[in-house]
Structure 1
């Protein structure tokens, strides 16, 4: 019976059907040493891309690099350190990319976490908001010049259907709701709102920005949970959750599918366009969150490329 349940759910999963090769293209994937990021990296490496693994844990990232090379015979895999709990680290990562890369064709904002607790980073930002939104917001802005130079190019933001539970406080994006899932939902809504603004401000540049919902995936996002929460997660994962390879399909679809070359500002699930929440479609809200995010990360005039 359990096998039947799993087969039923898997029959509805979307799959990227594109055979597009990425030889000569450069891809950056954040949080690429495990889970969805690793699965995405393997797929894009198989297509011939130069894949940059942007990771906090260098030991795990280097092990992943060797595994990807072994699986794909693509030796053009690079590891660079970036810690999203530090905006200085994000800026240092950007400097390395600008010093070593002539192009960035695809940026996959994949890194994210939940159950991070209610604390501030050294930048004075709520840790969940910084890791899941402010840091990728800063990184994307810092790399926009290379993305525009490499056009047609793509930004893929890994969001979640949890964005529909968001309760943003525009007086204080750092506010931590009592329930962690709301904090996580707020960050995922911010991902969509960022993508909304990018799609409008990058119109005509050849750079697109879209969001993916990977589905419920059995990844190490649960590593910060209590034992009881972890056990419940694993039971649900066995019955209903996708493997990282299955969960990465929509992200891969957004990164490579030829039919999406001129599609921007959209939200996809199961490799097809889906309808996000009304909040996610609110352009005034998106512009306000963008403005607040610029202030939060201290975006300087020379860091703005749109």
Structure 2
């Protein structure tokens, strides 16, 4: 049966173009972290592990033999992802635990249960995050993005720090991004109650992540607790779901334009694996890595006085000392 050659030529060209685009996307994403580096015998906590980079990092840790605790808000979704990871990696030591980073009570409950179950934690991955959300606050009244992305992880890390030190050599990986370079810490209005801008609030929270990592690294010097801040790059995840252009009809035009230069979530997760498992990074003290290469963060992110100020404010606002004390008290009947 005769078929016109033009449509076949067009179809072949489209297929070849699509293949080249996928190849470019994989090459642009970078090389994977060394698959021969295993995580056997290590206990890992990953926040925000039900989707995107957190899910893929959890999968990778499980594949490499780690015991993985997925600290997530949505238990139904977490259980579905956990089953998927267990079946694919053949690692049954993957667990779901409720942990809402927008609630201090939930964070403390997570830590309390974890400490009852596990004596050590080798790797804490502070990955969960929200981006450009509508104006709102957490359970404790913090601006949503700063409260979730920074304060929640600050409190979680503080409550686990004694276990991390006991488990040394151990590591804390803080996931941030290049948005920190545009960030500013609004000292006079940290909650941005007077003038809320979702982009500025996100940038502030990402700068806070880097400042936190650097100050935590300074405070843990000599304890053999490594602290590394990582930038996974522009990844194809649902983190952008709150952005205006992604909620409107323009998404159907914008997304295809950006797709070729967006990393796959598993590719982006390699920076977490590198920070958590590379033996050469154990002496890191708040260092910042982009695509597995040590980089210099923004000038503000290197301001030690600002980092110390933010730490003190974070301690006060999260009532970290009170939560630490509560962890040691017997539960009421």
Q: TM-score, normalised by structure 1?
A: 0.94
Deviations 1:123-151 (A, max 9, x none): 11111111111000100000001110100
Structure scoring higher RCO (CA < 8 A, sep ≥ 6) equals 1
Q: In the alignment, what sits opposite 2:207?
A: 189
Q: Distance in 1 between matches of 2:271 and 2:139?
A: 34
Structure 1: gaps spanning 5 or more residues:
none
Alignment pair present for 1:11 and 2:32: no
Q: In the alignment, what sits opposite 1:169?
A: 186
User: Closer, same or farther in 2 for the Cα pair 1:280/1:103, shift >3 Å?
Assistant: same
Q: Distance in 2 between matches of 1:58 and 1:86?
A: 15
Q: Distance in 2 between matches of 1:171 and 1:66?
A: 46
Alignment pair present for 1:269 and 2:290: yes
Deviations 1:278-298 (A, max 9, x none): 111111110011111111111
Deviations 1:47-80 (A, max 9, x none): 1110000000101100111111111110001110
Q: In the alignment, what sits opposite 2:255?
A: 234
In the TM superposition, residue 236 of structure 1 has moved relative to its aligned partner by: 4.0
Q: Distance in 2 between matches of 1:102 and 1:63?
A: 27
Q: Distance in 2 between matches of 1:231 and 1:268?
A: 32
Structure 2: gaps spanning 5 or more residues:
1-16, 326-333
The structure with more radius of gyration: 2
Counterpart of 1:295 (choices 303, 312, 316) is 316
Matched-pair contact (CA < 8 Å) for 1:103–1:150: yes
Matched-pair contact (CA < 8 Å) for 2:24–2:260: no
Q: In the alignment, what sits opposite 1:83?
A: 100
Q: TM-score, normalised by structure 2?
A: 0.86
Matched-pair contact (CA < 8 Å) for 2:184–2:207: no
**Structure 2 matches for 1:1-306, cutoff 5 A?**
4=20, 7-8=23-24, 10-12=26-28, 13-17=30-34, 19-175=36-192, 178-225=196-243, 226-228=247-249, 230-231=251-252, 234-300=255-321, 303=324
Q: Distance in 1 between matches of 2:322 and 2:265?
A: 38
Deviations 1:211-251 (A, max 9, x none): 11001111111223322464455224422101100111111
User: Closer, same or farther in 2 for the Cα pair 1:192/1:34, shift >3 Å?
Assistant: same
